[in-house]
Amino acid sequence: MRSAADRTRHLIQRIVTMVAVVAGGALLLKMLAGSPDDATESTTAADERGYYLNDAKLTELGADGRPRVVVRARSIEQQLTDQSVRLAQLELDYTTQKQGEWHVTADRGRMPSDHGSLQLEGNVLVVGAAERSEGKAVIRTDELAYDTRTNVVQTAAAVTVDFGPHQLRGRGMRVGLNQGTLRLESNVNGQFKP
């Protein structure tokens, strides 16, 4: 059985492959059909991109046949200059037997060409089941990095963590998904309600 990091890395590779196949098929179809705009189209090197999708939804199924990871984005595009992938207005639903269901949203995302991490920016919101608390766990920050190899989520930015009626605030956070640990790095203060 694969580790969570291997499954995540495999998912990312499958997503990129599926997107590339769809984009390649669309490009081939456009080339075969021709376009009245062919003579007037031009692109600059700064805007060169590989495949791109609008209003995309990508799903990876788990061993039980149910969706394990679902990624939705207003746009997904590959940058040819560094082979990275950029996502806009993204939502990610992640389901595991041990950690439950988690929903992540962000204004922007970037995946480097090695697919070893996912960088999220702008209004990052993570909502999921809060074990041993009343209600959901909610994490808010402006940027968040997910290392797919080590299953570590971290940020150096200001972060707010709500779990049930309680709230913690701080600067910098590190979450070990495999260990089930969360550590706020500095300027930590909180409110605990009975």
* Global confidence as pTM: 0.68
What's the pLDDT tens digit per position in 171-191? 999 987 767 778 889 988 888
The domains found in the chain, sorted by start residue, are 4-36+49-191 (2.60.450.10)
What's the pLDDT tens digit per position in 72-118? 999 989 888 888 889 999 998 877 666 677 888 999 999 888 877 88
Specify the amino acid at residue 66: R
- Judged on CB neighbours under 10 Å (0-12, 13-18, 19+), 64 is exposed
Angstrom CA distances, 148 to 56, 58, 85, 168, stand at 21, 17, 15, 26
